[in-house]
Structure 1
Amino acid sequence: MVNFRKYISSAAVLASGLFLAQSTVSTVLYSQNYDSQKSSLNLPSPVSTMVEKTVLSAKELVDINVNTMMADPVLKNASWGFVVYDPKTKKVISSYNENTPLVPASTTKLLTTETALNLLGENYRWMTQLEYSGTIDENGVLNGNLYVIGSGDPSLGTNKAGASSYRDIISDFIGGVSREGIKKVNGDIIIQTALFKGNISVLPENVVWLENNNYYLPAGSTRDINPANEKLIVKKGSFSTDKKFFYVSPYNHQMVYADKYEGNGILTTKLPDAPAYLANSFRTTLVKSGIPVTGKVSPKMTDAAPEGRKMLSAYKSPTLGDIIYYTNQHSDNSLAEALLRTVGYQKMGDQTSESGRIVVTGHLKDTGFDMIGLNYMDGSGLSRSNNVTPISQVKFLTSLMDQKYYRSYLTSLPIGGQSGTLKRMFIGEGNGQVFAKTGTLNKVKTLAGYLKTNSGKTLVFSLMVNNYSGSVDMVKKRMEKILEPALDL
């Protein structure tokens, strides 16, 4: 707790603390109507009077705001922590509970996206290729198979980050088939998703599948090729007093919870198995275009004796830099989880969440991250078992300012009052000056990133609130209030 007496010498100033917390750095402590009253005072002439005026610094106002929030009805029973840090002096300017591990929600994506940038580079791309085996006879009949070769592209067919739609990709594939003179396929369309190959991983502990009215299913392969089978079975919880609904994944065979559910008993996810959907749609389009396919769509995860193949078409994803920009601006959970799996595959040859966690935590340790209090459970921040301290977040963000990809990383963060998930915060004070990742779960609200002060300095901050009272909008207002005086630092 901050000591008021360190900054304020008189009892009168201390009693005015709540008022001062709402003031700017130029606030002066004296009666506002004194100037209008002094002319009517019956004082002997030419006696002059000196009025002592005490001006508080921006740091003192930040500290007062923090102290005021300790008694605020929304935060007084919450677990919360705050740090504002000067990266040049390497000193904490103001803090509260900075060493307390707290649930970071989607500010977890700060660690995931930075690891991907560091290990893969911002120009990294995923490739999805169309190839064929066998021979093409004089009538244009392919006596062989078509292969859709995936690489785990998390944006495939989504239009996210500038990615092409399924329709556009299929159009390119049809063009490749036509250029090769293929008029009939006497074989199958085989999907080889070497990265996602049946890695039905264990879900992160305590994961939330229902977030902000969106439903989330971890990326991966289905056991059946039909994307319509990507659905969750919803059951009312009959064995818990804390949670109302449970989701049973038909692929993970695990139950996870949600605090509320508005829908029927079966929920179809927004995330179909992308390679399966692409291949099935491709086959349908081929047939409609007058190119018959005698075989079916089937997965082939491993191939001990691969056929000789020739490429027909190749689709490149947006760059990793573009993907990360979209991920952080929109707080996209599926992209973040795919990034986690991708770094796991690139370093360990195994695209599972567990491998991804090992790679991310290993990277953080190698780069000097303060591991005390860290529990990194997933790439997106959906798990309530994630923990991190405010001080470790700000030191991590400070260390990135010397990296060659810092500009891309900074640009990916939402801007207060202007873009992404911060568009409706800092509309007045701080507009265009706060660059930060937000995080939201039920009774969890977090914010961490960079702050450009009115004097042009860049400061780093972390503000995490767990188990607050009231609405999330109430917490947002208090977060803005704590940070506003820091703009004058």
Structure 2
Amino acid sequence: MKKASLAIILFLVCLTGFAQLSRDQYQKLETALGDRSFFSGHLTGFVLYDLDSQQVLFEQNSQIRFIPASTTKLFTLFASVVILGDSTQTLRYTTQGDTIRIWGSGDPTWDYKDFENSPIEKLIQPYQTVVFSDANMDSPAFGYGWQWDDYYYDYSAERTSLPIFGNLLEVKKVSGRPQVKPSRFQSSVKTTSRTIRELERDFHSNTFYYNPNNFRGAETHIPLLTSPELFVQLASEKTGKNWNYSPDTLPAVHQELRGMPIFPILEEMMLESDNFLAEQLLLMVSDRLFQRLDTERAIEYILKSYLNDLPDTPKWVDGSGLSRHNLFTPRSMVALFEKLYRMIPDSELYQLLPTGGVSGTIKTNYQAAEPYIFAKTGTMSNNHSLVGLIKTKSGKVYSFAFMNTNYPYKASEVRREMEKVMVMIREML
């Protein structure tokens, strides 16, 4: 009995040791992230987590809250997988005679990027008149804490219940001048003597300005100032149907239209860090839950129902991470990522995550003969984070969160130093 007990104890000790860093390994990480390192000049939080043993191997400032920027999309990914399942929530509708009444559910795919054809046009084909209502939309066009002067950048498109063209104006440089789509806005393109290099939108209207002497045409998309009246005009032109706006309440008895498979949207959101898709996904989550489009309410529900066991309660306010009010701790980021790791099949999870040197937002970073970083980035002025998986030389996969804030230099410098740390971990584990 004593020999058997001793054998069990030795086995458990060996198992525990397997999940721990050696003293030398621990000291290397302490030095790389410590008081004399590059990271001593600003606040850095780091967690390295063994997914097999479910133990933290190393942590530094893991309890401190950081602005997560686009790593917030991991939370949106979680909510989408849990609530939406395998398809988008496109709209709700009723029919009477030759009229169909529709309420958007947040689906962002109608004539946006290379997504498959929206089912909307097929649905309305038998009807002469389409009546659109946005009375189910509770969230404003911009998220809480978004920076106001981002309004003319494509990463800050407005949120709506039923977007078309991604709520963006497409811009091409033709014979030195901007040519725009939808073409109805071509007459709203004006010249200016201001020293601007791109086509820029007026803050209060869909009037656009460019300087003929400086126009570069590098910005290919500009957010539109949306309104339900503009939407029905665009939808009428797009479909050849008569669209009208009437803010009617969604009746209790109605039908639902499910759209395209959701995985391509999740993949685009994660690899390209598409803010618009992230925000609209969270609206679809809200619609599926409450038949209302309310980002704040959806977030509250997800936090209380599915994420109430995180080490630290997140301050989570939008889907994309554009808000400066989001605050997450590194250890909560790792805890969330572990949930995703257990929920999503490996083949799909790796397809969703940007891969160092291969795809997405880290295509030009973390390069190696064999990819070893699979992670979501988040970058905002003076903030840069990376959360995901690292595959080491031994073949093991660990989860990590690496968060930085309040640094006074370029994000590229932070990425370069982070890469040194991640290479060291890859080599020693």
TM > 0.5 fold call: yes
Identical counterparts, % of pairs: 25
> TM-score, normalised to structure 1's length?
0.64
Range with bigger deviation, 475-484 or 316-325: 316-325
Name 1:472's counterpart in structure 2. 411
Name 2:108's counterpart in structure 1. 154
2: distance between equivalents of 1:347 and 1:284? 32
> How far off is 1:454 after superposition?
1.4
Q: Secondary structure at the match of 1:125?
A: strand
> How far off is 1:156 after superposition?
2.2
Change (3 A) 1:299 1:120: same
Name 1:191's counterpart in structure 2. 132
Q: Deviations over 1:326-346 (max 9, x none)?
A: 111111111111222222232
Name 2:271's counterpart in structure 1. 329
Q: Secondary structure at the match of 1:76?
A: helix
Task: Indicate conservation of the 8 Å contact 2:109/2:164, yes or no.
Answer: no
1: distance between equivalents of 2:391 and 2:160? 40
Task: Indicate conservation of the 8 Å contact 1:400/1:406, yes or no.
Answer: no
2: distance between equivalents of 1:226 and 1:485? 46
2: distance between equivalents of 1:113 and 1:395? 14
2: distance between equivalents of 1:87 and 1:279? 50
Q: Deviations over 1:295-353 (max 9, x none)?
A: 662234326699xx9x9xx9753322221111111111111112222222323333112
> How far off is 1:398 after superposition?
2.2
Change (3 A) 1:230 1:88: closer
> How far off is 1:446 after superposition?
0.5
Q: 2:32 aligns with which of 43, 65, 68?
A: 65
> How far off is 1:282 after superposition?
4.9
2: distance between equivalents of 1:327 and 1:78? 29
2: distance between equivalents of 1:278 and 1:211? 18
Counterparts of 1:269-418 in structure 2, within 5 Å, are: 270=223, 279-284=232-237, 297-302=244-249, 317-366=259-308, 368-372=309-313, 374-403=314-343, 405=345, 407-418=347-358
Counterparts of 1:447-486 in structure 2, within 5 Å, are: 447-486=386-425
> TM-score, normalised to structure 2's length?
0.72
1: distance between equivalents of 2:333 and 2:227? 34
Change (3 A) 1:385 1:128: closer
Gaps in structure 1 of 5+ consecutive residues: 1-54, 135-143, 232-259, 288-292
Q: Secondary structure at the match of 1:392?
A: helix
2: distance between equivalents of 1:97 and 1:286? 54
Name 1:126's counterpart in structure 2. 89
Q: Deviations over 1:256-297 (max 9, x none)?
A: xxxx9977571455257598767534533666xxxxx7x662
2: distance between equivalents of 1:459 and 1:404? 16
Q: Secondary structure at the match of 2:394?
A: coil
Task: Indicate conservation of the 8 Å contact 1:451/1:487, yes or no.
Answer: yes
Gaps in structure 2 of 5+ consecutive residues: 1-21, 170-195, 207-221
AA partner of residue 249 (structure 2): T
2: distance between equivalents of 1:100 and 1:128? 40
> How far off is 1:377 after superposition?
1.7
> How far off is 1:145 after superposition?
2.8
AA partner of residue 335 (structure 1): L
> How far off is 1:154 after superposition?
2.0
1:94 paired with 2:35, answer no
Change (3 A) 1:151 1:359: same
Name 1:6's counterpart in structure 2. none
Counterparts of 1:228-267 in structure 2, within 5 Å, are: 266-267=202-203
2: distance between equivalents of 1:158 and 1:438? 23
Name 2:364's counterpart in structure 1. 424
2: distance between equivalents of 1:354 and 1:420? 28
Larger radius of gyration: 1
> How far off is 1:386 after superposition?
1.2
Give the paired residue count.
363
Please report the RMSD computed on the Cα atoms of aligned residues, expressed in angstroms.
Answer: 3.9
Range with bigger deviation, 264-273 or 77-86: 264-273
Task: Indicate conservation of the 8 Å contact 1:163/1:317, yes or no.
Answer: no
Task: Indicate conservation of the 8 Å contact 2:315/2:328, yes or no.
Answer: yes
2: distance between equivalents of 1:57 and 1:441? 34
